[in-house]
A and B are shown apart, each in its own frame.
Chain A
Amino acid sequence: MTKELLKGNIAIAEAAVRAGLEAYFGYPITPQTELLEYLSQRMTELDRVFLQAESEVAAINMVYGAACTGARVMTSSSSPGVSLMQEGMSYIAGSELPCVIVDVMRGGPGLGNILPSQADYFQVTRSAGHGDFHPIVLAPASVQEAIDFVGLAFDLADKYRHMVLLAADGQIGQMMEPAELPPMRPLQKNVPDWALTGAKAREKRVITSLYLKGEEEEAFNLKIQKKLKQIKKNEQRSVEYATEDAELLVIGFGTAGRIAYSAVEAAREKGLRVGLLRPQTLWPFPERRISELADQASGCLVVEMNAGQMVEDVRLAIGGQIPVTFYGRTGGIVPMPDEILAAIEESYSRLQIAV
């Protein structure tokens, strides 16, 4: 296999095709439009379903319908579009349907702007729709990781009969990097045993999110919670750099995590004992590993492209054991490595390091 110079949005689209995507529904919005544009040609070429809906609301409900038939299905959007999709996302979760939703986040709130942002961390991990659930959320930091996570997203969606969100940002969507695409997987042959395929000569199946009786709704909720507990146990993912002897643990995801890597490298060159943990799953949050690292570190700095959202999960994971500080930029501003380095030096200088 050879590497190609690929733009994030296009790489995600082609990775989905190769992961056996059977149907895509979407609506254009910057900074993810190339994804939809690419699929409009590629999917029709392969005689698979591509449909540009009349709105994000329609697109997510088409995803809902197609997912009921057991097809591998995906949509993609960016922050304001994802807000419009939330009702449908809740119904999909309430019907336990697998699907992949790509969110190439941009600056908000409101129409905001089209620059890279991580301001929808709460939205994707906490409030992807009404009701008591979390989607699985994967956060790539490079084009290669975006490709790898698309395949993983479909597999996790099928494994748990659950919605998986790929939470990227405008920078990942627009950036070109050398990356390797996986080989084309054959389309799935077996339709799952819950799928709606026409009830001829078999018992009818019902897919619904409506449970009028409290006891039934509670039983269903407990079933979801049991599944989420399994996911929390099995699927926490993160990567680390120079954490072995780190006194200051820096935590950042996606683009912010990647820029923090440069800052941590620079801090190491200055002789500071600093390490980086980059969560790859935002839900489930890699709390086990962060808690372990908090046992050896003296402080933690969280870096995000928002006003401080994941930092709350870090504080929950660390439980007050060590001080947690925060550095963030908002409005679509991507922090430069030198400002993160300054935040590292500031946090480091305040550490009480036992000698």
Chain B
Amino acid sequence: MQKEFLFSGFGGQGVMFAGQLLAYAAMDEGLEVTWIPSYGPEMRGGTAHCFVVISNKPIGSPVTRHPQAVVVFNNPSFTKYEGEVAPGGLLAVNSSLINQESRRTDISVLPVPATQLADSLGDLRMANVVMLGAVLEVLPALPPAAIRRALEAHLPERRRHLLEANYKALEKGAEFARSMVKSA
């Protein structure tokens, strides 16, 4: 079992944190995991991405050309990575900010209005966690409780007051994904 995730969006959208949260949860579940950021000359407002590989065996390459799950938060990320999703894989799209539609028929596409959902919870910054909640509902690489435990264990002290809000964001995303699957 190996699962590869690519998270991509504007700097400041919490792309790195979404990947790290997944990585922490995988580690806590006793799995092997790697997390790699893009660390080129990115800046706030530019695009940034991170790669997460989760496996039950030692991980060789921490990067892959065609990840099984690609989670995009903005238009430039959609343009760049839509074509890279592995056949049969998942493309999760922040439909609040992305106005493009995938024409690929060999992958599942999950549009999530993550920014709007986060806004409805009262905090735009939660779009990343909303997305993660939705993605894990469709691609159950880890149980949702593992992400909750990872938040509990690894959310830095200065963000501690946001713990409940993060739980809610996770659930909001999962709920939305469930409603999508039902209506599909």
Chain A interface (Cβ within 8 Å of chain B)? 3, 5, 30-31, 113-115, 170-171, 174-178, 258-263, 265, 334, 336-338
Contact = CB atoms under 8 A, between A and B. Distances in A.
Interface stretch (B27-35, B108-116, B128-136): B27-35
Contact of A258 (B41, B60, B154): B60
Interface stretch (B62-70, B94-102, B163-171): B62-70
A280 to B, nearest CB: 16
Given A5-B154, A170-B39, A176-B34, 12 more contacts: A5-B20, A5-B33, A114-B41, A115-B40, A171-B36, A176-B23, A176-B36, A177-B33, A258-B61, A258-B62, A336-B65, A337-B64
B5 interface: no
Contacts of B40: 113-115
Contact of B61 (A3, A115, A178, A337): A337
Contacts of B154: 5
B39 A259 contact: no
Contacts of A261: 60-61
26 contacts: A5-B20, A5-B23, A5-B24, A5-B35, A30-B39, A31-B39, A175-B35, A175-B62, A176-B20, A176-B23, A176-B34, A177-B33, A178-B32, A178-B33, A258-B61, A259-B60, A259-B63, A260-B60, A261-B60, A334-B63, A336-B64, A336-B65, A337-B60, A337-B61, A337-B64, A337-B65
User: When A and B form their complex, which 7 residue pairs have the shortest distance between CB atoms, in order from nearest?
Assistant: A262-B60, A261-B60, A262-B61, A176-B35, A259-B61, A178-B27, A336-B65
Contacts of B24: 5
B37 interface: yes
Nearest to B60: A262
B178 to A, nearest CB: 29
B1 to A, nearest CB: 14
A31 B40 CA distance: 9
A157 to B, nearest CB: 29
Contacts of B20: 5, 176
A114 B42 CA distance: 12
A337 B34 CA distance: 15
Interface of B: 20, 23-24, 27, 32-37, 39-41, 60-65, 154
Contact of A177 (B34, B41, B60): B34
A5 B32 CA distance: 11
Nearest to B154: A5
Contacts of A336: 61, 63-65
Nearest to A179: B27
B29 to A, nearest CB: 11
Contacts of A31: 39
Contacts of A176: 20, 23, 34-36
A258 B62 CA distance: 9
A164 to B, nearest CB: 26
B80 to A, nearest CB: 16
A5 B20 CA distance: 9
Most buried by B among A115, A174, A176: A176
Given A3-B27, A5-B20, A336-B65, A175 B60 contact: no
A178 B60 CA distance: 14
A338 B63 CA distance: 11
Contacts of A114: 39-41
Contacts of A262: 60-61
A261 B34 CA distance: 15
Contacts of B34: 175-177
A308 B64 CA distance: 23
Contacts of A177: 33-35, 62
Contact of B60 (A3, A115, A265): A265
Nearest to A338: B65
Nearest to A339: B65
Contacts of B36: 171, 174-176
A261 B37 CA distance: 21
Contacts of A175: 34-36, 62
Contacts of B32: 178
Nearest to A113: B40
Nearest to A260: B60
Most buried by B among A30, A258, A260: A258
A314 B35 CA distance: 32
A263 B65 CA distance: 13
Contacts of B33: 5, 177-178
A31 B41 CA distance: 11
B27 to A, nearest CB: 4
A171 B62 CA distance: 9
